[in-house]
Amino acid sequence: MLECACFPDPWPEDFIARRLERILVAEREGFFLGYAALDAVLDEGSLDSIAVTPERRRQGAADALLTAAETWGRQRGLRFITLEVRAGNGPAIALYRKHGYAQVGYRKNYYERPREDAILMTLVL
């Protein structure tokens, strides 16, 4: 499962299955590249997870998923999308900044495996 390949503390398969209507999938020429899991409450959105298969990284899939997430949010009238990212995940932070996300907070010891802080980022739509 991609979740296990990308995250040290993956979501269970049944949790993902219950959220399928809020998952965007990236594929190219019939090959699965990755997904983005989103959620919304009223006019506030969250990007709960974004994952790209290790062998398909740095080929534009995460960029396309973020663009699709922004479109998804705008179509639903969301005011913003928020996410948490590991403080040590420089490539992801750079990608989010490229898309206009700004750091708005910091969560100490947010991640458990391994223990790491999170940066809270928000994109105003």
Do residues 122 and 80 touch, judged by C-beta distance below 8 A?
A: yes
Whether 84 is catalytic is yes
Q: Token pair for residue 23?
A: 């998952």
**Distances in Å between the alpha carbon of 90 and those of 24, 30, 51?**
23, 30, 15
Q: Which residues contact 13 (CB under 8 A, 6 or more apart)?
A: 1, 3
How many CB atoms sit inside 10 A of residue 31's CB?
10
Do residues 116 and 106 touch, judged by C-beta distance below 8 A?
A: no
35, 70, 96, 101: which one is catalytic? Answer: 96
Residue 71: CA count within 13 A, CB half-sphere: 8
84, 106, 110, 116: which one is catalytic? Answer: 84
User: Which residues are known catalytic residues?
Assistant: 84, 96
